[in-house]
Amino acid sequence: MPSHGTIILASASPRRTELMALAGIEFSVVPADINEEVLPGEKPSEHVMRLAREKADAVAATTRGRFFIGADTVVVLDERIMGKPVDDAEAYRMLSALSGRSHEVITGFSVFDKVSGIHLTRCVVTEVTFKELSEGEIRAYIATGCPMDKAGAYAMQGGAVHFIRSICGSYTNVIGLPMTELYETLSQLGALDVDRL
């Protein structure tokens, strides 16, 4: 799909890159390098939207192009953000906590039009329910190494696909980028040549 001006994805995530490509959007990847710590009193939705905008802005400041997309995804259980596990023990604790329960996956994304100076920032929430996990299932998954760079210690499109009982909301949001909402936002800013589809 042709784009009006260069679209830059400010993310190193291969999953987000795959989703953008599946949507037929022409883009380049320039990862952002920012501090991703949660601020005191910051709600999960506020956190992901702030980081998404900061990522888009950081890359826009040093990169040629017009439309810059930043995104951040968190797993939230009992209103607390579950980050990426630092070791196998923490991965085990996270997966045990998610077992048999519902949690939220929240992605914030921000599109910055460098020409007009407009930012459009949104967040999308998906409810995910896990089946009851046995100790053996959790340990076998941890042994694959997959949980270590994933928020909440799992990836739906990876080895945890059989953990998920149900999903309420955007499927692609759980992977890391709510593509319907992002597509609508890019179209709203005139970044996509939708008439040619």
pLDDT digits (tens, 9 = 90+) for 134-159: 999 999 999 999 999 888 999 988 78
Quote the pLDDT of residue 76.
97
Average pLDDT (45-68) is: 97
Q: How far apart are CA 105 and CA 174, in angstroms?
A: 6
E-only strand ranges, 11-150: 28-29, 67-77, 80-82, 102-113, 118-130
Average pLDDT (18-22) is: 96
Query: Full-prediction pTM beyond 0.85?
Result: yes
Average pLDDT (40-57) is: 97
Average pLDDT (101-125) is: 97
Computed over every residue of the chain, the mean pLDDT equals 93
- Residue-range domain boundaries for the chain: 7-196
Quote the pLDDT of residue 20.
96
pLDDT band at 116 (very low <50, low <70, confident <90, very high): very high
Average pLDDT (107-125) is: 97
Q: Is the pLDDT of residue 197 over 70?
A: no
Quote the pLDDT of residue 194.
56
Per the annotation, the verdict on 72 as an active-site residue is yes
Quote the pLDDT of residue 196.
44
| Cα dist from 77 to 54, 82, 128, 181, whole Å | 25, 7, 10, 23
Q: Is the pLDDT of residue 176 over 90?
A: yes
CATH of segment(s) 7-196: 3.90.950.10
Average pLDDT (47-63) is: 97
Annotated catalytic residue, options 33, 72, 78, 113: 72
Q: How far apart are CA 51 and CA 73, in angstroms?
A: 10
Q: How far apart are CA 102 and CA 126, in angstroms?
A: 10
